[in-house]
Amino acid sequence: MAGFEANFSSPVTSASAAFPYLAALSDDEAADRFFLEDLKLAGRELRGTLYSRKAFAKLAFRAAAALRTHGARPGDRTAHYFTDNRLEDICFRLGAALVGTVPVTINWQSDDVQRAASKVRRTRATLALVDEATPAEFA
């Protein structure tokens, strides 16, 4: 993949599932063009950070490496409990596709702690991804 480096200690095992994502992100002509904007509300001001395909791919590769570092393997379930629509969530979702894990969505708007815990138990999630605002009784 031109322009990108994945620092995995072992190769991506779900390459066939991840190929469409990698192909979309590796387009050399589009690599440095605007891909997405992460917006944050700071008081009454809306601030955004722009990401190119290349920058987003690097974040996704870092997320995949973090999943592997914490023991995630192809076929594992990983609970995604982010308390807002966050850039980290989409980076870890692509990272999960790269590693071959299955994201288990915990809906920050509708799942209470008991339902979140039930999803983790029923799916046998081996890892939970949380942010600083995730309820302490879950984390």
Read off the pLDDT of residues 27-38 as tens digits, 9 standing for 90 and up: 666 666 666 767
Please tell me the distance from the alpha carbon of residue 68 to that of residue 30, in angstroms, as a whole number. Answer: 28
Instruction: Give yes or no for a contact between 118 and 62, defined as CB atoms under 8 angstroms apart.
Output: no
pLDDT at 34: 62
Over residues 10-26, the mean pLDDT reads: 56
Partner residues linked to 79 by β-bridges: 104, 128
Predicted confidence band of residue 139 (pLDDT cuts 50, 70, 90): low
pLDDT at 109: 86
> Please, is 114 exposed, middle or buried when counting C-beta atoms within 10 Å of its C-beta (0-12, 13-18, 19+)?
exposed
